[in-house]
Structure 1
Amino acid sequence: MSGVGNGPRAVLIGPPGSGKSTVAKALATLWDVERRDTDADIEATAGKEIAEIFVDDGEQAFRALERTAVATAVAEHVGVLSLGGGAVLAPETQALLEAYGARGGAVVFLDVSLSAAAPRVGLNNARPLLVGNPRRQWLDLMEARRPIYERLATVTVLTDKLTPNQAAREIVQAIDATAG
């Protein structure tokens, strides 16, 4: 099984704490393909951590870097791709993922509850959009983003009680079921 054309084998989307990075690693290992994380691409391009980009340059600058990183990765990467939680907010990224999904690509929404996400992320200040009251901020983010995640997803996996390897296996099963 391969990605769409030369596109990714799967694109993982979801909120902070859903397991995008760790599940991407497990899924890439399972499929024996490379994994790529657009947050890492952004940090490499900017030469600084995401939290620093937010502080030094602002959210708009970060989101511009993010749109470019996602478009580049979807065009170039053929393994497992994980996106930052807010990447789906950009209309350009939504259109890109809708087109990718329409061509048969797997856009995987890793869903998670606050109670499962909290210990995974620590809901600390290292996450720029969770500063202040991190639990309230996370709930507000999910309220705004859930409809977008759900609309873009071709596969949804609830990761609350799953290890990264279990989630990866569920993704494979769901993709195989939709493909065949």
Structure 2
Amino acid sequence: MTDDANDEDGDHRLISGWQGRYFEDFEVGDVYKHPYGRTVTETDNVWFTNLTMNLNPMHFNEAYAAETEFGERLVDGTFVIALVVGMSVIDVSMNATANLGYDAIRHHAPVFHGDTIFAESEVLEKRESSSREHVGIVTTELRAYNQEGEKVLSLERTPMVLKREHAEPSPERPPGWPEGVGTQPEEL
């Protein structure tokens, strides 16, 4: 399969975008700095806190939080986990078939409204699956930092990741796209 599908005139073509890493692409010791820092807003925190019914007033009661050692509301720690895991998907689990576990979760420093979070993952281990030949198991340490470079979160994450030979991405049908959706080579 080619990386692009040309039309007859060569004027238009479908080009493959980033399709994520496959099991074979991971090497122990590799570090992936995930693209796009994300600034956490007050709305993010309030909505997530309400959605998850987190009743700790530290997250939603400004008067209460002002009297604490932090002097202001803290961003819900489970939001920070969800955000950082999401940031890592593009590099670590875009081709995962399942997440097996999240371990050794540590909040190293608080996150406040207006903080911008950056994340990176280091490959700690990779191994063949003993029960599924189409995937391998990869363990990474996911680390998050604020705009000052202070580590705010770390955790270990273990997804099952497809092996390249069992994936069939193409410019016409990248991961996650149903067959026939969007521009097709015969339309060019």
TM range (shorter): under 0.3
State the structure with more CA Rg: 2
Give the helix-richer structure, 1 or 2: 1
